[in-house]
Amino acid sequence: MTLTRPILFDVTRLISTGWVKRHPTGIDRVCDAYLSHYKKNAHAVIQHKGAFRVLSEKHSDKLFALLADRAGGFRYKLAKLLPSIMAADRAIVRGGGRKYLNVGHTDFDLSSHQRWVKRCDLKPIYMIHDLIPINAQPYCLPHATKRHKGRVISSLNNAAGIIVNSNATASELNDFAAHQKLNIPPIIAAHLGVEDFGCAVDISEQSKPHFVCIGTIEPRKNHLMLLRVWKKLISQMQDKTPQLIIIGRWGRQSKPVRDMLSSDLRLSKHVTMLDDCNDTDMLEWTQSAKAVLLPSLAEGYGLPLIEAMAMQTPVIASDLPCFREIGKNVPLLLSPHDEAAWKDAIIALFTQDKELKRQKRLLQNFSAPKWAHHFVKIDRWLEQLDNEEFLGNAKHLSMLPHASNNHSLVPEGVGHSEGLSDEKVSSL
């Protein structure tokens, strides 16, 4: 098979999401955005446990169209397409230095993956969404920590370039590389975009005052703290307590949340769990909420925060580096451990205190990052990776000594070869 397009785009994660009929997570949304942007200039790549397929232009277009709408009949349509893919397309191709894009954290920790990249003569570009399994190990399973550490080390050792979603993630990656005594390839920090939500949605059915919390039910999302806050609100406000709408799939280690809700009838009366919420309903709940609550103990970016702000919905969130960076001083940021502060802040927004007026005023002038802006930066950076002078400068800077927690990656979107300096970025 002759490659006719400049990019090989890994669609493995999107196939998996469609096959299990799972509503997209934040990483899935990023994969969707990259598919939409690069589908006309890319061949599709599928990998599974060391087996690979690089699709022809014809088969790539068919698969891209199918993945763009992973709705009813996806399994049947995919099963119908797979035999022709397996028969006609190849695992090993002559890449000629083409760029391979993997933005879904898919298997690039495996040695079979790295052997395949080298045999095909590709320039691998990986996205690192966060270092949570490494830096917040108590909230993750040991297997997840081991796999993600493997991904990060593999990307540092083998990538032609690394994409990150924030300066906060870039700083953590820098710290990790220094600790592991590894060099850093060219890197770009580019904020993720949000969709244009257009006109206001119909909120007539969501008339009861409510707050929304969005995220998979797992320990690092800190739902237990929020439920304890709601118990205190119920004791103080009785029947006037607003509803808490928790939107997210039940994840691993979610049993304590289930147990708290099932053991307290008063709490369950004021908390609604939506574990199979589609995008339209999530949009409606978010836009009609008094505020979006994000009490996470660790994050790499925070799409729900940006999406809420884009809809002019106030936000109370944990005081994390990434939230400080992308929130631009609009959300109210609190310690994720200070239950009293969260209770007082929720009451303040519910009763239309000055904090609500402050956020509403600032939100009027807030401009959410757009995917178009993201890809202008990414496209320009990908072109630079073919420039020997750029790569030489990046290689030189990757050899500089690092000092933990004293790294500078200049404003968002600047490549590694342009970005390291002796000053610390204020947004961090």
What pLDDT does residue 121 have? 96
Rounded Cα distance between 333 and 319, Å, is 5
What pLDDT does residue 395 have? 52
286: pLDDT confidence band, cut at 50, 70 and 90? very high
Burial (CB count <10 Å: 0-12, 13-18, 19+), residue 301 = buried
More confident residue, 395 or 59: 59
Can you read off the two tokens belonging to residue 229? 């806050």
Domain spans in the chain, listed from the N-terminal domain onward: 7-189, 210-363
Angle subtended by helix axes 57-67 and 12-19, to nearest 10 = 40
Chain-wide mean pLDDT for the chain?
87
Q: Which residues pair with 8 in a beta bridge?
A: 43, 100
Rounded Cα distance between 14 and 305, Å, is 23
Question: pLDDT tens digit string along 292-345?
Answer: 999 999 999 999 999 999 999 999 999 999 999 999 999 999 999 999 999 999
More confident residue, 352 or 209: 209
What is the rounded average pLDDT of the residues 137-147? 92
What pLDDT does residue 390 have? 67
Burial (CB count <10 Å: 0-12, 13-18, 19+), residue 317 = buried
Question: pLDDT tens digit string along 261-273?
Answer: 999 999 999 999 9
CB 186 within 8 A of CB 162: yes
CB 311 within 8 A of CB 283: yes
Rounded Cα distance between 12 and 47, Å, is 6
What pLDDT does residue 153 have? 97
More confident residue, 142 or 411: 142
Question: pLDDT tens digit string along 227-258?
Answer: 999 999 999 999 999 999 999 999 888 999 99
CB 13 within 8 A of CB 24: no
Burial (CB count <10 Å: 0-12, 13-18, 19+), residue 361 = exposed
The CATH code for residues 210-363 is 3.40.50.2000
- State yes or no: pLDDT of 206 exceeds 80: no
